[in-house]
């Protein structure tokens, strides 16, 4: 369906532009559509990379490649629904949405009119689906830092998994807990990266403040699969709210339409569980169909997402009050209950049963990694608290995080 066909699209897009403009102004964010290809240092870096890859490459070849990249970016910018959207992230969301739409069609689930996708800087790891009075087109917003945070968490988890040699193209790693513990004792790098990402996110308010780094080469594939699964689940959950009609007939709760206070977006626990189930099924179908993954390597990203929410909540509580407590959210069930519900559904719906059990066992490995991370980070976080480090302002102002 072309975006232009839906008359509500324009109205949703102008509302989104309003929200984005207001948050950019509030947080002093520069326009997200700034072209990195206009930055001399970026161009110089690309030149070095180009010349190192192409042994017979010359200046003319480099400029040709650069011109092609500029054209492609221009197309990406034009595709964005608002001038404030980041074209790279929008492209990523769009392709994930298309994959999830194919899953929805397979499940006979209707998501029409096509929702408007966007990113919004609120400083929290989550997504939110909103409805407007003026149109049936829903807006699905992903937190601007979400891609960055998901990426860093997935890299830290994937690089903690002990790799196995000699299995050709197949991803091969050990899920033996003793192996895992001794690998993390031997090399604490993944824990330090995790700590850096967590502190950047909770203290400075944005995961992008963490030091950038490349995944170790042998864990890159594993980390992108984990990230994809997590992002597809998050977007799938919001699609679930839209497809199940959770936003219909209750527009009063979507006060975000009138202000940028996402806390007024209230949904009840039952709807959250339902959206989780839809999100999980949409995501597992996309991961198995498009990426050839088994149920375990599809499901683990959803499980990790809940684990990340919990760790962020603990960290905010610890830095804010000196005690690591989980906040009681009024709008969302506890993450452990959401994880349990998904596991029950996996066991009840996935055939053969061993596939569901494999997924649950891999989720257990994720839990173990997060527990080891947390154990190692707790004392340094207490120290930071004693020294006066506090969470970024809006974490304390918004204890009832949406997801």
Question: Long-range contacts of range 29-37, CB-CB < 8 Å, 24 or more positions apart?
Answer: 29/121, 31/83, 31/84, 32/84, 32/85, 32/86, 32/119, 33/77, 33/80, 33/83, 33/84, 33/85, 33/86, 33/87, 35/70, 35/73, 35/77, 37/66, 37/69, 37/70, 37/73
Q: Quick one: which of 305, 306, 323 has its CA closest to 314?
A: 323
CB of 332 to Zn ion, least distance (A): 7
Cβ closer to Zn ion: 228 or 402? 402
CB of 237 to Zn ion, least distance (A): 6
Question: What is the Cα–Cα distance from 389 to 381, expressed in whole angstroms?
Answer: 9
Q: Give the range of 12-20, 243-251, 266-274, 383-391 binding Zn ion by CB under 5 A.
A: 266-274
SS3 assignment, position 260: coil
User: Which residues in 19-78 contact Zn ion (CB under 5 A)?
Assistant: none
Instruction: Return d(Cα 118, Cα 84) in angstroms, integer.
Output: 9
Q: Which is nearer to Zn ion, 275 or 312 (CB)?
A: 275
219 vs 267, beta carbon nearer Zn ion = 267
**Closest CB to Zn ion among residues 275, 308:** 275
CB of 61 to Zn ion, least distance (A): 49
Measured from the CB of residue 213, what is the shortest distance to Zn ion in angstroms?
31
Contact 368, 180 (CB under 8 A): yes
Binding footprint of Zn ion, residue count (CB under 5 A): 2
Residues 267-296 that bind Zn ion (CB under 5 A): 272, 275
The SS3 call for residue 142 is: strand
- 85/272 with CB nearer Zn ion: 272
Task: Give least dist CB 306 to Zn ion, A.
Answer: 12
Select 152 or 401, whichever has its Cβ closest to Zn ion.
401
CA distance 191 to 337: 26
Tokens of 142: 């992903």
Show the site string, 208-247: x = touches Zn ion by CB under 5 A, - = not: ----------------------------------------
Distance of closest approach, residue 246 Cβ to Zn ion, in angstroms = 8
Q: Give the residues lining the site for Zn ion (CB under 5 A).
A: 272, 275
């Amino acid at each position: 369906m072309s975006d232009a066909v839906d008359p509500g699209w324009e109205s949703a897009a102008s509302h989104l532009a309003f929200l984005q403009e207001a948050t950019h102004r509030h947080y002093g964010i520069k326009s997200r559509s700034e072209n990195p290809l206009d930055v001399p240092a970026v161009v110089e870096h690309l030149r070095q990379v180009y010349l190192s890859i192409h042994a017979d490459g010359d200046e003319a070849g480099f400029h040709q490649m650069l011109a092609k990249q500029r054209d492609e970016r221009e197309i990406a910018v034009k595709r964005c629904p608002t001038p404030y959207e980041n074209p790279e992230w929008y492209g990523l969301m769009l392709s994930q949405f298309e994959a999830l739409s194919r899953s929805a069609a397979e499940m006979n689930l209707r998501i029409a009119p096509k929702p408007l996708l966007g990113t919004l800087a609120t400083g929290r790891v989550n997504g939110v689906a909103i409805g407007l009075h003026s149109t049936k087109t829903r807006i699905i917003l992903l937190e601007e830092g979400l891609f960055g945070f998901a990426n860093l968490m997935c890299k830290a988890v994937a690089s903690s998994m002990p790799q196995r040699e000699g299995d050709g193209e197949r991803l091969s790693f050990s899920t033996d807990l003793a192996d895992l513990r001794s690998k993390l004792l031997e090399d604490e790098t993944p824990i330090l990266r995790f700590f850096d990402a967590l502190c950047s996110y909770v203290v400075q308010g944005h995961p992008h403040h963490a030091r950038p780094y490349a995944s170790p080469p042998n864990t890159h594939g594993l980390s992108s699969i984990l990230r994809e699964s997590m992002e597809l689940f998050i977007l799938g959950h919001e699609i679930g709210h839209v497809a199940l009609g959770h936003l219909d007939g209750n527009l009063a709760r979507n006060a975000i339409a009138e202000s940028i206070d996402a806390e007024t977006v209230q949904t009840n626990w039952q709807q959250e569980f339902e959206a989780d189930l839809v999100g999980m099924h949409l995501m597992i179908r996309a991961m198995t169909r498009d990426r050839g993954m088994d149920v375990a390597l599809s499901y683990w990203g959803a499980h990790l997402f809940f684990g990340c929410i919990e760790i962020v909540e603990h960290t905010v509580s610890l830095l804010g009050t000196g005690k690591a407590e989980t906040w009681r959210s009024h709008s969302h069930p506890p993450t452990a209950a959401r994880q349990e519900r998904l596991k029950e559904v996996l066991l009840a719906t996935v055939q053969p049963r061993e596939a569901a059990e494999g997924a649950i066992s891999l989720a257990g490995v994720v839990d173990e990694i997060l527990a080891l991370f947390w154990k190692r980070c707790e004392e340094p976080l207490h120290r930071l608290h004693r020294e006066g480090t506090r969470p970024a302002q809006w974490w304390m102002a918004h204890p009832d995080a949406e997801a």
